[in-house]
Structure 1
């Protein structure tokens, strides 16, 4: 897959997490913090570890996106843990634009969009 297509797909996939979290917080789906926290389980994470390493140049660009992507998954797992411990308000706050997940998501999306231009 071409770089632009890979980035477009990653943006769409990671943007879908907001909807998944709403469903999770409302009890409609289950999520596992350990699985979600692994940044190499999603398609983009696998791509970053393999093809992305040679396509995202210079290496600093790859490393920055790799780090932002890992942070996205780390914070996503934290949202799940908060909800599972009964801190629904904390989990909901993390999903706001000023919350930890909102900031991590925005940083990753903005950096990926910058690559496309």
Structure 2
């Protein structure tokens, strides 16, 4: 599995992590940790010299930052007990769902163009 595939998988799995938090109101990470788009492996790759050479780097970087911002918003809602609002963000048409799909689609485009 190449780096882009790993990043697609990692970011796709956040929906499941957030669903678990919505159900339990417990998280193993804080809102600030989740909001920090530089902290995850993909953020570290984007911050590297190699990452800055990715096709559409600025768009990917923007989507990645938005992804973390929106994920942190869902986490905030979930931890505050606003289950229906948090779930709506994860459903088709929700802000988190839209941004997540855009990020994964953009990463898929890059992965396909480099094959």
Instruction: State the superposition RMSD in angstroms.
Output: 1.4
> Counterparts of 1:68 and 1:6 in 2: how far apart (Å)?
17
| Cα distance per residue 1:24-76 (max 9 Å; x no partner) | 1111741411110010110000000102013x14xxx1000000000000000
Aligned to 1:68: 63
TM (norm. structure 2) is 0.89
> Counterparts of 2:93 and 2:71 in 1: how far apart (Å)?
14
Structure number with greater CO (CA < 8 Å, separation at least 6) is 2
> Counterparts of 1:116 and 1:64 in 2: how far apart (Å)?
15
2:45 matches 1:47: yes
Aligned to 2:15: 18
| Cα distance per residue 1:7-36 (max 9 Å; x no partner) | 100000001111101111111741411110
| Equivalent position SS for 2:2 | helix
Question: Could you list the runs of 4 or more consecutive aligned residues of structure 1 that deviate by over 6 angstroms after TM superposition?
Answer: none
| Cα distance per residue 1:71-117 (max 9 Å; x no partner) | 00000000011122222111000001210110010000011111122
Aligned to 1:92: 87
